[in-house]
Amino acid sequence: MKIMTRLKTKLSALLPFIGLLCAQAQRDMKTINDGWFFRKASTENWQPVNVPHTYNLDAYSQRNYYMGKAFYRKSFVLPDVPQGKRCFLKIDAASKAADLTLNGQKIGSHAGGYSAFTFDITPYIQKNNTIEITVDNSRKDITPISADFTFWGGIYRDVWLITTSEQHFNLLNHGSDGIFISTPHVDEKEATIEIRSEITNDATEKATLEVIHQIYDPQGKLQQTLKQLLSVKAGETQTVRKTSAIGQPQLWSPESPRLYEIVTTLRNPKTGMELDRSTHKTGFRWFSFDGEKGFSLNGKPYKLRGVNRHQDQAPVGVALDDEAHRRDIRLIKEMGCNFIRIAHYPQDDALVEACDEMGLLAWEEIPIINIVPDTPGYDDNCETNLTEMIRQHYNHPSIIAWGYMNEILLTAPGPDRPEWPACRERTVKLAQRLEKTLKQEDPYRASVMAFNMTNLYNEIGLDLVDVSGWNLYHGWYVGQLNDFNRWMEDQHARYPKRPTIISEWGAGSDRRLHSKHPKAFDFSIEYQQTYVEHYLPFIEGTEYISGCTYWNFIDFNVAARQESMPRVNNKGLFYNDRTPKDVSYYFKAMWRKDTPVLHIASRDWPVRTGDKNEKHPVKIYTNLDEVELIINGKSIGKQRPANCHTVFNVTLPYGTSTLKAQGDKNGQMVEDVMVLRLDAMPDLAKGDELAINVGSDCAFTSDVSGLTWLPDQPYSKGSWGYIEGKARSTTSEIENTTDGPLYQTWRENLRAYQIDAPSGTYEVELLMADVSRSRPQLANLLGRGDDGQAIADSRFNITICGRRVETDFSPADGGHYRQAFRRRYIIQNKENKIDVLFETLKGKCHLAGIKIRKL
Ligand code: GCB
Ligand code: CA
């Protein structure tokens, strides 16, 4: 008896190899990413490329990147054109639309830049083949049409050539492979698994077939084999369903992402020959969203802690290889996230697979953003995109929510406008249509939508979704930090039953800008930290908030964005190259309970300028109870962090210092070490350059020269500073400079700028820009920090050390609006002071920066 069982086990272990012997009957899949030729419609030259590829690397340098058609072409030889086989071409993404021909014959089109599509190319394939694909990223009937990211054109994911038998799973179902696995019921004792498979018979005769599902547990042990016989007529596709119970399921969660594997095979029951095979993974988990209690996973309250993820990375744009997607999920996990919003569009299969495997719950969405246009075909395309997303990623246990609209009233005409009723109606109509489709496609996941800072969404019926996402930027684009708490409290009081999640919140930061008095829109590293340190404790401490996704995991490309880093939205917790910003360690300290976190948060501010008697803030992000700071071997003392951070105010010697933070977690010593440099205040007598970022509380360090422009201050005797005037700023882009932020802050209506300095010959350099006639900003900016109009076309005289250097002057002379104006004057200082006097003739005189050097 025993021997018999053993023998059986051995035989079943051999079965896969027996399967291999019939390899010619199985599914063959290979990428054909290599050896393509490419040209834009605007050029004649074909250029060799590999996919993934985007034709919008111009988005890194140009606001108006190329929008239009481009052509891809590839030739390949199939030495043996398979007989009795089907061939498919699968493209994982071509943005935004693609028309395909094979050997001169049209094989089909696809609309939608973020999902896969497959064509049966059997009728057209021959020995020598040429595929031609026309891609177009300018189509207005395909979403997205307006959004805060670049609409990268190109074939930017994999291209596959797939060969199957004439009987196969239905590869033509919206880019999926025709196998759909769901877990309609799960609890600790038992789970139900339902597998729906679609089988196509492309032969000319009816076929009797067998579908076999082998379910392996997370340890790789075969748990169940489910079999089903069916007969499929020639040319037909049939759907079969199989439901089964799994006792004592090993549950999937971000903390232990246990995956079951389901191997589905199609066989000829007479010959035993395997015809097709596909492997999927599933996980058993259950969840709920509640208006009072927030989210719960597998029966326990569970705060969703996450980030939004855009997919681009310089210098390749969105043409990332799979390993880069997996790397991102690893970094996100490492930070302590258990959740991700795959925003604003479906992303690579590799990313979603990594969520399953490494353990991240996910919200995925299609990119219907800012406004629903009145464009024929748009709604249909939206619905198709939604269906594709759901079918393609249906089997992933990580996904718990599908989304379909983001801030959809942002650029819609307001209720006071005549266009409003029609716009409102079509928006609500589309939402209702998509909500219905979503639930038909997938009754087991939540529907979500992201609202922005207006209650209109509730009032007009866009609250039809299961979960309301709020994109809230109080203390950034609008109002004060506390307005965030008030917003949520008010929402909860009005709609206590409605599940909510903070789907976006974020502040921008630029490594070149630092401030001891950070404020919204100064783009300092420090303000972003202040912002998140305010929001996160409220989110964590408020039960009814299901969780959050910070905006954004990375600094990402937006060709149209201006601000301190044109072409970049710099709200990332990581730089675009995936280097962590210090602020990411705040999240890690808040969210990782399983490991000690101790990080000196000054990697983004490693060089300071100041006096050695002055106090310099050194912030530590940590989840330890107590931290000691040691500078150059000497203890500065111990501090007890609150809200996962503490700031030591320390004096530093000039030059480099070694900073060591240390503490212990349950007897385990933890430390972090970094080197920080303090540069002395510039000494004019020594030939140093005294550079001042006029009109700003931020020090600015140029990427190019490394020179630090000091924060501005009022003049006092023996020192330097402004006399009178008002500080102003703009987010308008400044051209012809890499030091934009210097010019984006200025002082206007100042009487003078004075520097007390020993007599001698000096070089005095003035920086300014007339930032009026700004280019239209993105809708997202909501107008904070745009003072440019105030100085429009101002004219003034400038006198330095008694000598008139400019008369009836404007930095915009010659039409140079928004351009960096920088001019040096050689000056004789005879009275131990350099005074720059302004005399306004028209508008308001202004100054954005000043630099002095003794010759
Ligand atoms: C939003 C949008 C997102 C933007 C973000 C921002 O609300 O949903 O696409 O990138 O704000 O940074 O302005
Ligand atoms: Ca300035």
Residue 569 beta carbon below 6 angstroms from any ligand 1 atom: yes
What is Dmax (Cα atoms) for the chain?
A: 111
- Please list, in sequence order, all residues whose beta carbon lies within 8 angstroms of the beta carbon of residue 750, skipping any fewer than 6 positions away: 722, 723, 724, 725, 838, 845, 846, 847
Rounded to an integer, the average pLDDT of 208-231 is 98
With a pLDDT cut of 90, the percent of the chain lying above it is 92
> H helices within 394-445, ranges in order?
420-441
Architecture (CATH level 2) of domain 179-282 = Sandwich (2.60)
Read off the pLDDT of each residue in 638-667 and give the average, rounded to a whole number.
97
- CA of 346 from ligand 1 middle (Å) equals 17
Calculate how far, in angstroms, residue 510's C-alpha sits from the geometric centre of ligand 1.
Answer: 17
Share of the chain above pLDDT 70, in %: 96
| Whether residue 344 has a cis bond before it, omega within 30° of 0 | yes
Predicted local confidence at residue 107, as pLDDT: 97
Query: 452 CB under 6 A from ligand 1?
Result: yes
Find the 347 Cα to ligand 1 centroid distance in Å: 18
Numbered ranges of CATH 2.60.40.10 in the chain: 179-282, 607-679
Q: Is 310 in the pocket of ligand 1 (CB under 6 A)?
A: no
pLDDT value at residue 455 = 97
Average pLDDT estimate for 106-126: 97
d(CA 309, CA 503): 12
- Going through 217-336 in order, the beta strands assigned E by DSSP cover 222-232, 237-247, 260-267, 274-282, 287-290, 294-297, 300-301, 304-308
pLDDT at 785: 65
Answer yes or no: is pLDDT of 382 > 60: yes
Q: Is the ipTM of this complex over 0.95?
A: yes
Partner residues linked to 645 by β-bridges? 621, 642
pLDDT of residue 772: 83
For the cut 80, the answer to whether the pLDDT of residue 469 exceeds it is yes
Atom of ligand 1 nearest to the CA of 471: 7
How high does pLDDT run on average in the chain?
A: 95
The answer, yes or no, to whether residue 6 has pLDDT greater than 60, is no
Q: Report residue 250's pLDDT band, with 50, 70 and 90 as the boundaries.
A: very high
Residue 384: closest CA among 405, 398, 366: 366
Q: Give the pLDDT band of residue 783 (cuts 50, 70, 90).
A: low
Q: How much distance in Å is there from the Cα of 565 to the middle of ligand 2?
A: 15
User: Is any atom of ligand 1 closer than 6 Å to the C-beta of 210?
Assistant: no
Residue nearest to atom 2 of ligand 1 (CA): 148
**Helices marked H in 312-416:** 322-334, 349-358, 378-393
Q: Which CATH class is domain 684-854?
A: mainly beta
Closest residue by Cα to atom 10, ligand 1, is 148
Query: Where along the chain do the CATH 2.60.120.260 domains lie?
Result: 28-163
What is the predicted pLDDT for the residue at 234? Answer: 98
Which ligand 1 atom minimizes the distance to the CA of 407? 8
pLDDT tens readout for residues 414-457: 999 999 999 999 999 999 999 999 999 999 999 999 999 999 99
Strand partners, 797: 839
- Inter-residue contact 508 to 525 (CB < 8 Å): no
- At residue 26, the pLDDT reads 78
Q: Is CATH 3.20.20.450 the classification given to domain 607-679? A: no
- Report the atom number in ligand 1 closest to the C-alpha of 780: 13
Q: What radius of gyration do the chain's Cα atoms show?
A: 31
CATH 3.40.50.80 fits 28-163, yes or no: no
State the pLDDT confidence band at 140, using cuts at 50, 70 and 90: very high
CB-based contact 555:574 (threshold 8 Å): yes
- Ligand 1 probe mutation, 307, 408, 451, 504, most atoms within 8 A of CB: 504
Where in the chain is CATH 2.60.120.430? 684-854
Q: Going by CATH, does the domain composed of 303-557+574-580 fall within 1.10.8.60?
A: no
Q: What does the block give as tokens for 214?
A: 């082998």
Report the pLDDT value the prediction gives residue 2, as an integer from 0 to 100: 36
Return d(Cα 688, Cα 789) in angstroms, integer.
35
Q: What is the average pLDDT across 543-552?
A: 98
Q: 57 C-alpha to center of ligand 1: Å?
A: 22
pLDDT score at 428: 98
- Condensed to tens digits (0 to 9), the pLDDT of residues 718-751 reads 999 999 999 999 999 999 999 999 999 999 999 9
The ligand that comes nearest to the alpha carbon of residue 367 is: 1
> What value does the mean pLDDT take over residues 643-668?
96
Q: Considering only CA atoms, which residue is closest to atom 11 of ligand 1?
A: 780
Confidence of residue 25 (pLDDT cuts 50, 70, 90): low
Distance 30 CA to ligand 2 centre (A): 55
**pLDDT, position 15:** 42
406 pocket-lining for ligand 1 (C-beta < 6 Å): yes
Amino acid (one-letter) located at 8: K
Indicate if the pLDDT at residue 14 is higher than 80. Answer: no
